[in-house]
Amino acid sequence: MTDSTLEAQFDNFFALFEQPVQFDIVQDSLDQRLRLLQKRYHPDNIAKNVANPEKAQQQSEQASALINQGYQILSAPDSRASYLLDMADQAQNLEHSIADLDFLEDAMEMRMDLDDAIGDKDISTLKQLHPQITERLAKQSASFKSAYDNQDWQTAIDATQKLKFLVKLNADVVTALDGISAATYLDDDDLYV
């Protein structure tokens, strides 16, 4: 394994994970490729058959970091959209503020509901918010896909900005649900002490 081979393989995460360069992705295929790459570039497998095990170890660590980075980018809709825009040389305006006032009002309302539910440990409200956010994620994903396929870059950038917000909101709901569920489980265990 040489540095130039590594660079060629890791230059494009879609190529690395054997995925077509598009927004839609097959998660199972991505997961299978991740496991294969992790096994292939594991330090134990690299260092066995080389003259310079120290250098091989370093290359293995670099490869593992890139594999993990690529997987994280491709598996999340917001980062995958950003990556596609970057590949198309259209990512320069991604950090601008969202200008859609209706989206912002809706997003602020969901954020306040989420913060209140987390503070109150209101699992019922959290369970109601989760499908609402998932629905909005699907809508923005479809908007991005259509805009990207048609090279409507401004709409694609707008959808990517909204995806970033919604992915963060969704992660916060999942974390809160997991936290409340874990606390409830611990409380139940206390009953049997």
Residues 152 and 118 in one domain: yes
Q: Which two tokens stand for residue 32?
A: 């299978």
The residue from 24, 59, 75 where one domain ends is 75
Whole-number Å distance between alpha carbons of 21 and 164: 20
Averaged pLDDT score across all residues of the chain: 88
Whole-number Å distance between alpha carbons of 190 and 193: 5
| pLDDT attached to residue 192 | 56
Q: What is the pLDDT of residues 22-70, one digit of tens each?
A: 999 999 999 999 999 999 888 777 666 677 778 878 888 888 899 999 9
CB 138 within 8 A of CB 130: no
Looking up tokens 């496991």, which residue turns up? 35
| pLDDT attached to residue 80 | 97
Separation in Å, CA 71 to CA 87, 104, 117, 122: 16, 30, 32, 33
Residues 69 and 118 in one domain: no
Residues 111 and 151 in one domain: yes
pLDDT exceeds cutoff 70 at 2: no
Number of domains in the chain: 2
The residue from 58, 75, 92 where one domain ends is 75
| pLDDT attached to residue 189 | 58
* Percentage of residues in the chain having pLDDT higher than 90: 65
Least confident of 65-74, 92-101, 146-155, 182-191: 182-191
The domain that contains 184 carries what CATH number? 1.20.1280.20
Where in the sequence is the domain holding 71, given as residue range(s)?
6-75
pTM of the full structure: 0.84
Instruction: Name the maximum alpha-carbon separation found in the chain.
Output: 62
pLDDT exceeds cutoff 80 at 8: no
| pLDDT attached to residue 1 | 45
Q: How confident is the model at residue 191 (pLDDT cuts 50, 70, 90)?
A: low
Query: Once rounded to an integer, what is the mean pLDDT over residues 11-28?
Result: 94
110 vs 41 pLDDT, higher one: 110
| pLDDT attached to residue 190 | 58
Q: What is the pLDDT of residues 131-156, one digit of tens each?
A: 999 999 999 999 999 999 999 999 99
CB 92 within 8 A of CB 156: no
| pLDDT attached to residue 42 | 82
Whole-number Å distance between alpha carbons of 8 and 40: 16
